[in-house]
Amino acid sequence: MSMKPYTSKLDLSTGNVDLSHGGGGRAMAQLIDELFIKHFDNDLLRQGNDQAMFTTKAGRLVISTDGHVISPLFFPGGDIGSLAVYGTVNDVAMSGAKPLYLAAGFILEEGLPLADLERIVISMATASHTTGTPIVTGDTKVVERGKGDGVFITTTGIGLVPERVNISSNRARPGYSILINGSIGDHGIAIMAGRENLQFGTSIVSDSAALNTLVEVMVAAAPADIYCLRDPTRGGLATTLNELAQQSGVGMLIDEASIPMKPEVKAACEILGLDPLYVANEGKLVCICSASATDRLLAIMRQHPLGQDAMKIGVVIEDKHRLVQMTTAFGGRRIVDWPVGEQLPRIC
């Protein structure tokens, strides 16, 4: 793949992305060689093919792809690079699968500082390493100045589903428990604070994280008792529960007092007029499991760093209208409907 020697090294301190970096020639080869391969380095990527060939154990594979267009590129608790890895790793893990490999596609805007791009690539490499999911192939394109927003990243992941695990969004049934692994709304409020330079008197940090190791211990503890898993990202907890209710043909009844939420996030939502149920998360999962496995799963989740605040937040109920309802802190009950429009675009 390498076309070394180059006449000079890539200027990662003061240089910028230009159209030649996406032109398929020497400049593009140098960008790939001195930036992407340098940080993503692994045996499959180093082969330099337009695809990656690998062997897997026999079994069920899953594949997921996701585009990341977040603004700003760097935010409290993360950046578009780590988010692009975590987002797809989590989508694969929500099937109960062990993520195996990632592919990454970059659309770069002319003028993007190479220092920013390297910072993003290093973040992706670190996230890839910590999740145990190497980036084994990819693509790079450059668009003219003003026709992008710095960088967009698409990641595709594949994973292998363990035996006895059968997790799908249409498997919720009345009587099952609804669990969540921690507090809601952190990511959306952190992005809004970073984008609008809002000060809330305390730092609100995104919960962006890879959930594959949490899912791994959960499915190992109760492989046949977990029926649905989903990460409540864009649209928040409310949208996720409505999706699961619709796809399973059931209703959901949640308890407001049981839903974990940090006081600073709650205060920020009150100031901004946002309903935290609809605010995005990037390190949370909703689990629907049998009633008999509830306590066991909660105990397992609370032993994991990303599940210490895990709670049972409700139950699946019969409802031909497939509504999500919530018992409020005041003892009343209200419908938690699908969101209308989008509270905050470019969130992930």
Give the Å distances, CA to CA, from 299 to 35, 63, 93, 209: 43, 30, 20, 20
Secondary structure (DSSP) of 233-259: -TTHHHHHHHHHHHHHT-EEEEEGGGS
Q: What is the dihedral of CA 227, 228, 229, 235, to 10 degrees?
A: -170
Separation between Cα atoms, residue 96 and residue 223, nearest integer Å: 9
d(CA 28, CA 20): 7
Give the HSE-up count for residue 197: Cα atoms under 13 Å, Cβ half-sphere.
Answer: 0
Residue in the structure block whose two tokens are 């409907």: 337
Task: Return the structure tokens found at 275.
Answer: 């309903």
In sequence order, the β-bridge partners of residue 268 are none
Nearest Cα residue to 286 out of 176, 203, 197? 176
Q: Per-residue pLDDT for the chain (348 aa), expressed as one digit of tens each?
A: 445 567 889 999 999 999 999 988 999 999 999 999 999 999 999 998 899 999 988 899 999 999 999 999 999 999 999 999 999 999 999 999 999 999 999 999 999 999 999 999 999 999 999 999 999 999 999 999 999 999 999 999 999 999 999 999 999 999 999 999 999 999 999 998 888 777 766 688 999 999 999 999 999 999 999 999 999 999 999 999 999 999 999 999 999 999 999 999 999 999 888 999 999 999 999 999 999 999 999 999 999 999 999 999 999 999 999 999 999 988 899 999 998 877 778 888
Are 206 and 299 in contact by the 8 Å Cβ rule? The answer is no
pTM: 0.94
Half-sphere exposure in the Cβ direction for 328 (13 Å, CA): 7
Is the separation of the CB atoms in 29 and 2 below 8 Å?
Answer: yes
**Pairing mode, strands 324-327 and 251-255:** parallel
Residue 257, both tokens? 């007092």
Measured CA to CA, the distance from residue 168 to residue 78 in angstroms comes to: 29
Structure token pair of residue 327? 């018992």
